Amino acid sequence: MSVIFKKSVPGRTGVNLPKSDVPVSAQVPVMYRRKSPPAMCELSELDVVRHFTALSRKNYGVDTNFYPLGSCTMKYNPKVCEKVASLEGFGQLHPLLPQLRRGGMLTQGALRVLYDLESMLSEITGMDAFTLQPMAGAHGELTGMMLIAAYHRAKGNQKNEVLIPDEAHGTNPSSAAIAGYTVRSIPTDPETGTLDIAALENTISSSTAAIMMTNPNTLGLFNSDIQKIADIAHSHDALLYYDGANLNAIMGKFRPGDADFDVIHLNLHKTFATPHGGGGPGAGPVGVKKHLEQFLPISRVVKRSDNTYTLDYDHPDSIGYISPFYGNFSVCLKAYAYILMLGRQGLRQASEQAVLNANYIMHSLKDHYHIPYLKTCMHECVLTAKKQLENGINALDIAKSLIDKGFHPPTIYFPLIIKEAMMIEPTETESKETLDSFILAMIEIAQVSKKDPLALKRAPLSTPVSRLNEAKAAKEMNVSYTEQNS
């Protein structure tokens, strides 16, 4: 497909504007005036509409088809939440409007949304207080690590390291490192697929500031020893951090706060009605227990005795601002609408369905693909290409072949500790028919890998660009248009 400029036809136009009757201002200095007209393309409205419609159809999203990208929760986000977020009374608010008296009428609703969302998230997770400021999961992790550092500083504790399981999301060690900690990796027990508690006990020391956990972990497995891990952490005055980016398995089922987690972040742009991975805004709210509340970022939304809401900056122990104003308000609004819409029952049901769907896929594929941990999984399951590798087919070939079958590939080669991993997260919003067609595609690919493996090596054939040299594409990235690479 060519760029829009190549479609330009001299003299063609989409609108008829009258000739300007305003003289060129003499006040614009000559040096700033154009010497030649701008290089705009000349096209009809229909040309433009067709060009951009064709481009949009090359895109793939949850609105197009199944998107089982593990650890990303690419579920369908109800359009009504977008609608609520774009209501004029919210969308047109200026963040510097006064909160009370003159103009306060305009902001009270927004402040109430923030206040209520903080308490709803506290209730869902079992924490005591939340900040909505962080703008992504990783940003939430960094905020959480800064809160932990502030806590230890205030207690006079000398702590310099954070313990993280080896299957953790890559943002965990980087957030801990950016907050100034040395990261020590704790192995996963190869038998159970969960944290090796003996290794944890051997590594933890008085220098340990925190343990960062993801539960269910990135293998999709729930660690039921979590209370024991919390006790080990707290006996060394270390705090327990919960990476709650993927809350999809546990809503209404398990509250990290009840298992003595001290700090948690959530990804609203995974679990709560904002798409993840679309390059748009996100939100990574951070929840804490009472003993960390004083360190939360300012400002805090508070409810006054007359039921009005205001922003409170009087927190001398706060770690300060971690983003401008109050975070990504529109993402918070969508989460607020989504939680109210589903309610307690609905959130629980969403988790149950997400877990059921993942187990359905895992069990439907277990005769065709190697499954490293064949036991009840949570919101996602991990398969591998171990069997297909006997015919030279790896996870990448399978992923590329799925594109030709109309599906977005799952996450591959993650978690890093599983060779040839394929991490599938179907989410609760998919129908059985969709799951069945994906399962069928996976089974067909497994069959082709035995009969005609070379066919899979050529995939994808249905896309504008076929198989790229992945290393070159990353290391010699070329994203600018030239006649040659058009």
Ligand X SMILES: *Cc1c(COP(=O)(O)O)cnc(C)c1O
> Which residues are near ligand X by CB under 6 A?
71, 136-138, 169, 171, 214, 243, 245-246, 267, 282, 284
Residue 370, CA distances (Å) to 64, 166, 367, 395 in order:
29, 21, 8, 12
Q: Look at the alpha carbons of 38, 42, 45, 49 in this order and tell me if their dihedral is positive or negative.
A: negative
Residue number with CB closer to ligand X (278 or 406): 278
Residue number with CB closer to ligand X (172 or 388): 172
Q: Which residue's CB atom is positioned nearest to ligand X?
A: 137
Residue number with CB closer to ligand X (284 or 327): 284
Please return the burial class of 54, using the count of CB atoms within 10 Å of its CB with bins 0-12, 13-18 and 19+. Answer: exposed
The identity of residue 254, as a single letter, is: F
Q: Rounded distance, CA 260 to CA 273, Å?
A: 27
Q: How far is the CB of 278 from ligand X (least distance, A)?
A: 11
Residue number with CB closer to ligand X (110 or 124): 124
Q: How far is the CB of 72 from ligand X (least distance, A)?
A: 6
- Contact indicator for 175, 141 with CB cutoff of 8 Å: yes
Residue number with CB closer to ligand X (211 or 245): 245
Q: Rounded distance, CA 171 to CA 173, Å?
A: 6
Q: Rounded distance, CA 216 to CA 223, Å?
A: 6
Q: How far is the CB of 265 from ligand X (least distance, A)?
A: 8
Residue number with CB closer to ligand X (84 or 245): 245
Q: How far is the CB of 154 from ligand X (least distance, A)?
A: 27
For tokens 């980016």, the residue is 245
* Residue (of 135, 126, 125, 110) closest to 336 by Cα position: 110
The residues pairing with 165 across neighbouring beta strands, listed in sequence order, are: 186
Residue number with CB closer to ligand X (282 or 409): 282
Q: How far is the CB of 177 from ligand X (least distance, A)?
A: 15
In DSSP notation, 149-207 reads HHHHHHHT----EEEEETTS-THHHHHHHHTTPEEEEEPBPTTTSSB-HHHHHHH--TT
Q: How far is the CB of 138 from ligand X (least distance, A)?
A: 3
Q: How far is the CB of 136 from ligand X (least distance, A)?
A: 4
